[in-house]
A and B are shown apart, each in its own frame.
Chain A
Amino acid sequence: MSILSFSEATLQAMTEEMERDPTVFVMGEDIARQGGIFGQFKGLPERFPGRVLDTPISETAIIGSALGAALTGLRPVADMHFADFISVAYDEVVNQIAKNRYMFGGQADIPLVIRAPDGIVPGAAAQHSQSVEGWLMNIPGLILVAPSSPATAKGLLKSAIRSNDPVIYFEHKLLYPQKGEVPDQEYLTPLGKAEIRRTGKDVTIVTYSIMVQKSIEAAQNLAREGIEVEIIDLLTIKPFDAETIVTSVRKTHRCVIAHEGVVYGGAGAEIAAQIQQEAFFYLDAPILRIGTKNVPIPFSPPLLEYVAPKVSDIERAVKKALYREGV
């Protein structure tokens, strides 16, 4: 094991995959000269000349040309700078990339990764703080993943690059400097498989990305009160690992879903719907969802504090699911 930061782990994944396959390349804004705004591409252009490309500020052309390159024999990784800017290339993502394989009858594979740094950074306000997986949950053909640690960041990015289907890789900006253990030998984190971060008998928390850490913190606090929660780290948001979720909920009979995206119409809505379909008679309480309140991310610290999901929100929801007093 080595101790790496989240951004170092993604850099290691890029390096290994670019070594392994000469058709892998990466393009985006400020990634070659600057090394990425979070340092996640540092040293890569020197190691792979001509395969780490600074682009103009042209999100539509970045994503669209990644598709063209993928269709003609390359494996592009397109960096979106901020996940929020996917909206600029929305047609390319939802009408071109997501539909290409299906509407042309499976004529071509689309080995393409969009790296999308997302999530709340204090002070970054409405257009640089979103978790946008909800925009894409409703689009057939896309695989959405979100690592929660350096180890999963590396393993998921490697799997995404090797995937023959388009993967959107959401990496939370606040996770980049965080350190954690990463195996020294080569490994892949499989797409579509969740991991159980903590076992417990009382309540299941289904979560991903930075909310995994907040859930673990909440679980530690709750344990002091004798409440044992089970934490499922989805890793792949779509198609999510329904089997692992349902198995857990059938055991605990209670479920809280925690993500940073807006609650209304967010990924949690689909997860909750599938749980009630598959485990309705096992449930002892309504499924509760934690996420951002239904407004854009505000700038001022007290406003942000009020709308963003917190550890205490998770704790409160778990207690509510258990019908404990004082919630």
Chain B
Amino acid sequence: MNNSQILDEDEVLFKPIYSSGKGFYILGAALSAVFLFGVAMFIRQLIYGLGETGMNQPVTWGFYIISFVFFIGISHAGTLISAILRLSKAEWRRPITRMAEVITGIVLVIGGLHPIIDLGRPDRMMHIFERGRLQSPLLWDLTSITAYFTASTIYLYLPLIPDIALLRDREGRFHKLYKILAWGYTGTEKQKHVLEKAISILMVMVIPIAISVHTVISWIFSMTLQPGWHSTIFGPYFVVGAIFSGIAALIIVMIAFRKAYHFEDYLSKFILIISGHFY
């Protein structure tokens, strides 16, 4: 890939990679402050006990488990956009595939951490791995989220390789990092062919994994005897809800990026398709 293939209009895509504006640093500092406050509160919870969260009997699962379900649910947007739309050969997905996949990767990490901070004894977390009972829905959930995170991260990385190669050729910031990550990709026909095949295999694999993830999480609830939870609708209910919330999260991210980085040329058509009036 040589630079002559890049059109001059596309330069706006590279701008946020090479320079960060003031707004970026201010936002980063503000969010880091919130994050540090969260860490401080978690340490407080570790010292005093889970009662700090306000949970009590008989409702022993509160904010943490709800957040867990929500964040894992949002991750389905990535699969829908990149895998399912790729399978159905919808070309209008191309501008947003990357954003969707990154959202998936991030929220799976966030969601996967939530059951750990919900534990009464997080120092005994290794008990699940050493002496776990596979009959428990929590173990099924652990297995499926790990599988989904692995598959999704690889599925994010593989189509990213040609773009990282592009950045490597431009010789700017983080050049060494891009050199390692691009893995020697030079855009030859053979390499393109191999990459296409790998992406296709993953695309077919990721769809059943993704659907099973939220189904398995719903079974954490529906395998109990509690009224309102003990129902067979939970599997499809959670997956459909997840796709809805995931697309909503994706739209919010898209609107923010479009405004912040001036991507109007690339994202306007999609926004029109989805909603119609966000300018």
A binds B: no
Task: Give A contacts to B, CB under 8 Å.
Answer: none
The residues of B with any CB-CB pair to A shorter than 8 Å are none
